């Protein structure tokens, strides 16, 4: 999945030919913004560790990313060792994952506004852009951090 395509799909969901977008569209837009970040991270890890998309190992690394494991890793104390661009991505990843779960499952919550969805989409887009600016060693280290369980030394 291409994260840019997912961002564009999320933006398209906030548009409505007539009046305001429905709650279903706004919730789906928020969810799609999270998935843009998730798939961006999965592809980044595969690119950093394998490099060639045609290599079966690339797909194995891409599919290795788990939502819960990534969230826990992004919240770990070890995140303090990463540069600001990576920490910013991790913080946005966790926040958007929480919001995605709310948008997908908490149907009794207050209604979303279009501006809410646009803010979450912008947050995903900004975090991806910041992550891309990080040093390759930091990105590779973060990819290992979110993919692999930390064992005591």
Prediction pTM value? 0.94
Separation between Cα atoms, residue 97 and residue 61, nearest integer Å = 21
90-140 pLDDT, tens digit each: 999 999 999 999 999 987 778 999 999 999 999 999 999 999 999 999 999
Task: Please state which architecture CATH assigns to domain 3-147.
Answer: Up-down Bundle (1.20)
Q: Judge whether residue 153 has pLDDT over 80.
A: no
Instruction: Locate the domains of the chain by residue range.
Output: 3-147
Average the pLDDT over 79-89 and give the result: 97
Q: 141 vs 48, 83, 89, 110, 129, CA distance in Å?
A: 10, 11, 14, 39, 18
Closest to 38 in 3D by CA, of 78, 68, 13, 75:
68
């Amino acid at each position: 999945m291409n994260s840019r395509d997912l961002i564009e799909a999320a933006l398209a969901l906030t548009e409505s030919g007539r009046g305001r977008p429905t709650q279903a569209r706004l919730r789906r837009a928020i969810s799609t913004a999270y998935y843009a970040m998730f798939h961006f991270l999965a592809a980044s890890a595969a690119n950093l560790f394998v490099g060639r998309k045609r290599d079966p190992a690339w797909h194995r690394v891409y599919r290795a990313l788990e939502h819960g494991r990534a969230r826990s890793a992004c919240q770990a104390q070890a995140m303090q060792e990463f540069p600001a661009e990576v920490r910013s991505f991790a913080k946005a990843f966790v926040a958007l994952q929480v919001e995605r779960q709310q948008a997908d499952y908490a149907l009794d919550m207050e209604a979303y506004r279009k501006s809410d969805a646009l803010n979450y989409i912008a947050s995903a887009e900004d975090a991806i852009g910041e992550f891309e600016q990080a040093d390759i060693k930091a990105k590779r280290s973060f990819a290992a951090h979110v993919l692999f369980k930390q064992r005591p030394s």
